[in-house]
Structure 1
């Protein structure tokens, strides 16, 4: 998940609507935020770097999902097409791609709806690129709410949903795959949570600039 600030009003809005690229870190905005008292949270500035650094969190996410799935249904490499001779055989149907697109959309929608006043906000947008979706907002958000926004898709889809589907007896292979894909896709989210917990104080608000995050002590005007 990206909670990021459009660099300029109309230009950035068009970029989000077109979905051709994600807003990048802006040096001029960085200088302005620092001058206004915002403190930079050290972390990756580029998407590729963030994905690489988040690999350990990807492994942790997948392990958590596997443990949760195993409560209701066994999960093994053989189930995913792995054979004793070391080969892998699986079939991907066109509607499987459709389900992945739905997964990405639902993942980003969960981020979106947890943003304060998301229906009325003129500073919050959701968009998609060839590499996935993202949420963009200029809102200043309290730390606890920011963490909730960031963790929501992983927790709901990859931790809670196995309990729901397992209880209903519909924890099928395709459902398991989608749950695990979401865990993998949530690795940058969990990296973001780690960096925020480590660097931002409890009584702070956060905002972003590209992938980079900033914190500032909360004031009476901050959103709750």
Structure 2
């Protein structure tokens, strides 16, 4: 896995080769900006789902939303905000590493890349992956960071307001991942494979089982 500054553009020669090999272009947004715009309604739904999940796991959150203790907000600019920002950055890094962890042989792959594009992180691979594997890679950061981890922390009595915030923020940030899953499930046939060429994704029904 290599570090790069941004996802490379589509290689037209590779597209021609894939077309010759009967690969079909996935109908999807043409850029990250377009994907974020398309996925905004999904982001809202995911944040509401994450908040609902934490509502049942963290009693102080229930009291806050019910208004039993009233509501007040105080913003203090100091060293604490640095820790909060570092926590958000760490959450972003972990989110992308979870994506990478489910890519087969990721550490040995010379076709897998990671990096940061502005405020957003990414993991990008040109490896051929099965439909099932792509769905798993896309959904794991959402399921682990926004649902499994809060459950474990609540059970251990370690869940707090800031971790709830990170959990809900991560859920909202997984909107493009969920959009990708929707596009894959609605277009790629069972047993299909996928491969990326820059921002373009291609699929082919190869009958793969794993």
| 2:4–2:113 contact (8 Å) kept in structure 1 | no
Alignment-derived partner of residue 68 in structure 1? 53
Alignment-derived partner of residue 210 in structure 1? 198
Alignment-derived partner of residue 155 in structure 1? 143
Q: Distance in 2 between matches of 1:159 and 1:110?
A: 14
Alignment-derived partner of residue 36 in structure 1? 21
Q: Is 2:39 the partner of 1:51?
A: no
Instruction: Give the aligned length.
Output: 202
Alignment-derived partner of residue 17 in structure 1? 3
State the shift of 1:37 in Å. Answer: 1.0
Alignment-derived partner of residue 113 in structure 2? 125
User: Unpaired runs of 5+ in structure 1?
Assistant: 1-12
Call closer, same or farther: CA 1:173–1:140 in 2, change over 3 Å.
Answer: same
Alignment-derived partner of residue 4 in structure 1? none
CA RMSD for the aligned pairs? 2.5
Q: TM-score, normalised by structure 1?
A: 0.81
Q: Is 2:85 the partner of 1:97?
A: yes
Call closer, same or farther: CA 1:96–1:25 in 2, change over 3 Å.
Answer: same
Give the secondary structure class of the aligned counterpart of 1:202: coil
Q: Distance in 2 between matches of 1:41 and 1:96?
A: 38
Q: Distance in 2 between matches of 1:223 and 1:108?
A: 26
State the shift of 1:76 in Å. Answer: 6.5
Alignment-derived partner of residue 180 in structure 1? 168
State the shift of 1:27 in Å. Answer: 4.0
Q: Is 2:129 the partner of 1:141?
A: yes
Q: Is 2:96 the partner of 1:111?
A: no
| 1:45–1:210 contact (8 Å) kept in structure 2 | no
Alignment-derived partner of residue 171 in structure 1? 159
Give the secondary structure class of the aligned counterpart of 1:71: helix
Give the secondary structure class of the aligned counterpart of 2:3: helix
State the shift of 1:211 in Å. Answer: 3.0
State the shift of 1:203 in Å. Answer: 0.7
| 1:142–1:218 contact (8 Å) kept in structure 2 | no
State the shift of 1:136 in Å. Answer: 1.8
State the shift of 1:214 in Å. Answer: 1.3
| 2:138–2:181 contact (8 Å) kept in structure 1 | yes
Give the secondary structure class of the aligned counterpart of 2:107: coil
Instruction: State the 4+ residue runs in structure 1 displaced beyond 6 angstroms.
Output: none
| 1:25–1:45 contact (8 Å) kept in structure 2 | no
